[in-house]
Copies of this chain bind each other. A is one copy, B any other.
Amino acid sequence: MKYKANIQIMPLAALLDPQGKAVTHGLQQMGYTTIDQVRVGKNITLVVEADSEEKATALVEESCKKLLANLIMETYSFSLSLI
């Protein structure tokens, strides 16, 4: 069975996020003064083939830990859907 994973990888809340700060500043300069606390991370989608949703979850979890996210600086979360 094939599952589509939708993964969000964000900088840890405790860390500065210079890209987010720059975007916040840019939006405010453009007149969007009611927008604040912008944080910029990655959104990754992928297709995984596995026998069960549990196995697919385990594979995506492993990929996040080993390659996609840097756990020292980032957190990840994901959802799976059957395709």
- Majority SS of interface residues in chain A? strand
Which of these, B10, B34, B49, B62, contacts A43 with CB under 8 Å? B10
Nearest residue, chain B, Cβ from A49? B34
**Contact of A42 (CB < 8 Å), options: B24, B30, B40:** B40
Number of interface residues of A (CB under 8 A): 34
Give A55 Cβ to nearest chain B Cβ, in Å. 9
Output the least CB separation between A45 and chain B (Å): 5
Q: Which A residues lie at the B interface, using CB under 8 A?
A: 6, 8-10, 20, 23-24, 26-27, 30, 32, 34-50, 59, 62-63, 66-68
Partner of A36, one of B10, B39, B46: B46
